[in-house]
Amino acid sequence: MPQAPGKSKKVPTKPAAGAAKTKTPKKNVFPLPPSGTVGSWEDDPESAVSLTVPIPDLSKPPLAFSFPAGGPPPATYAHGTSEFRYWATAAALRRAADYWAKRVPLTQWYGGPSLNVVLDKGFDLDANYDRAALNFFHGPGVTGTVFTCESADVSCHEMGHAVLDAFKPGLWGVANQEAAAFHESFGDISALMSAIQIPSLRTAILTVNGGNIYTKSRLSRLAEQLGSALRAQDPDLAEADCLRSAVNSFNYQDPTTLPSNAAMSCLSSEPHSFSRIFTGAFFEILGVSLAAKAATPGTPTEAELLTVSDDLAGFLVQGIKCSPIVTNWYAHVAANMVIAAQSDPIYASIAKGVFVGRSILSLETASSLPMTSQIKPLDAAAKPDTAAREPLPMVGLSASQYGIDGLLFVDAAAEPCRFIVMAAGFDGEPITALSATAAAKAFVDDLFLRGRVDYGAVVDREHRLLRDHKTKTHALVNVDGSARLQRRIFNCGLCACGVSH
């Protein structure tokens, strides 16, 4: 188990080879099981609360990692060194992978039993998941160089993309704003759940916040160091005290009615911005549920926090598994979470109250959800792994406005629904879900407006929209003579010094 935390202190660095930088990392094998400990952070380097943990087993199934070859032997290294970053990243990823592997459960990553980890792929304030690897970067910070792999918030967020991709792969390429935003929300929830696995952090947060989890703290403030670095380049790129906060007052709005981009103090349809609606709702449910479940009102224990968070993670996984990939994805996941929680009226009532209060569910939907006994058992309703990998239906979009001759084909959020679910507008009235084609067009429009599409050989240079050199999350490809849109990565999305990949 993790030992007691302490503030960052330098210790003599043991002689070791530095972590090699390579674009095709190979597995670094150590004797198993290794004995001893390594140093890490509880959450983020800006919080600077150190943690000593047993040496993580990177080859542990079902979710193994392949780190760069030539890495340092396990030991406690000085903060700020490449050796420390290597094992801090390894410890955080192992903790998060072990957590989700049990709760989904998972048998492997989307691409196989081991996931590559590239600790420093180059100069950028960014991190991404590309189905083959978790890629981290370095860039200018407020007090020095920021290595994004060093933050457990960042690494566990990116690993969250990989976890979700492993059991709901259809969300990867679907042309839908809510699905893309939910991928980012799940990444943030992954960072939160991983942090809650640390007993010392649970105790510290409950002590500082007087037992109230749903208030600002270093738990709710995600990726503080990266947020500070981005704000130094452009104040609009991050929230006031972190990259994103799980404590917020954002309510659901139809993403097609929002601007494509906005300062992080506002809401937009940009996936990281829009993700905060669901993340805030989940974290609020956690806070209210902990208060309701505490044996001693007002003074929940760290053990109770662990139990409640595990319960909610279970409801979330069931909600994802049982939800069809449709245009109003948020509402379907919320509805299926409530159904999953029906065995405990306290959880179910709180989830309904928060989701309705945030307009993710309409009053009519929340009051008319079927009982678990009225639908297929949750485990049976969730598609098996083989079925889950069936391709989504495709739709062809008129594409002349993108410089494309003919149609652009995209994966559509058009799976069949088991029952009707709706979110609500500002007036509380239910919002009818968009058609798959309309939602896909809004999503693709946003990508081109934000300069996130690599035209490749599909569009001549004179017909391209060139705005900046940010990382491209999607690419146009020719398939059987037709233009198609394919996702490349899920990334930080707000990188200030990115270059076109």
For residue 234, what are the CA distances in angstroms to 49, 240, 268, 384, 444?
A: 27, 12, 17, 45, 26
Q: What is the pLDDT of residues 476-492, one digit of tens each?
A: 999 988 999 999 999 98
Residue 121 near residue 105 (C-beta atoms within 8 A): no
What confidence score (pLDDT) does residue 492 get?
80
Identify residue 155 by its one-letter amino acid code.
S
Per-residue pLDDT band at 373 (split at 50, 70, 90): low
User: Strand ranges (DSSP E) for 413-481?
Assistant: 423-424, 430-431, 453-454, 474-479
Q: What is the pLDDT of residues 92-149, one digit of tens each?
A: 999 999 999 999 999 999 999 999 999 999 999 999 999 999 999 999 999 999 999 9
Structure-token pair, residue 168: 């709901």
Does pTM surpass 0.85?
Answer: yes
DSSP-derived 3-state class of residue 471: coil
Identify residue 214 by its one-letter amino acid code.
Y
Helix (H) / strand (E) element for 92: namely: helix 82-103
- Please give the residue that has the higher pLDDT: either 9 or 122: 122
Q: What is the pLDDT of residues 422-477, one digit of tens each?
A: 999 998 999 999 999 999 999 999 999 999 999 999 988 888 887 766 789 999 99
What confidence score (pLDDT) does residue 450 get?
92
DSSP 8-state secondary structure symbol assigned to residue 112: B
DSSP 8-state secondary structure symbol assigned to residue 460: -
Residue 450 near residue 260 (C-beta atoms within 8 A): yes
What confidence score (pLDDT) does residue 465 get?
80
Helix (H) / strand (E) element for 408: namely: strand 407-411
